[in-house]
Amino acid sequence: MQSNFLKRGVLLLGLLAGSLAGIAQQAYPNRPVKIIVPFAASGPADNYARFMAQRLQEALGQNFVVDNRPGAGSIIGTDAVAKSAPDGYTLLMMSNTQTVNESLIPVRPFNLLKDFVPIAPVNYSDLVLVAHPSVPAQNLPELIKYAKANPGKINYASSGNGTPYHMAGELFKYMAGVNMTHIPYKGSAAARTDVLSGQVDVMFDAVTTMTENIKAGKVRGLATTGRTRSTVAPELPTVNDDGVPKYEALIWLGMMAPAGTPDAIVQRLNTEINKIVNAPDVKATWAKQGAVAMSMTAPVFAKYVADDVAKWATIVKVSGAKAD
pLDDT, one tens digit per residue, over 194-226 is: 999 999 999 999 998 899 999 999 999 999 999
* C-alpha pair distances (Å), 186 with each of 162, 193, 224: 12, 12, 23
Q: Is residue 237 part of a domain?
A: no
pTM for this prediction: 0.88
Answer whether the bond into residue 29 is a cis peptide, omega within 30°: yes
Q: Is residue 303 part of a domain?
A: yes
The CATH number of residue 149's host domain is 3.40.190.10
Q: Is residue 22 part of a domain?
A: no
Q: What's the chain's average pLDDT?
A: 92
Q: What is the DSSP string of 161-188?
A: TTSHHHHHHHHHHHHHT---EEEE-SSH
For residues 115 and 172, membership in a common domain is answered with no
In this prediction, residue 19 carries a pLDDT of: 47
In this prediction, residue 4 carries a pLDDT of: 55
Report whether pLDDT(6) > 70.
Answer: no
For residues 103 and 153, membership in a common domain is answered with no
Rounded CA separation 26/19 (Å):
11
In this prediction, residue 165 carries a pLDDT of: 94
pLDDT, one tens digit per residue, over 82-126 is: 999 999 999 999 999 999 999 999 899 999 999 999 999 999 999
Among 104, 152, 151, which Cα is nearest to 318's?
104
Range of the domain at 209: 126-224
Q: Is residue 220 part of a domain?
A: yes
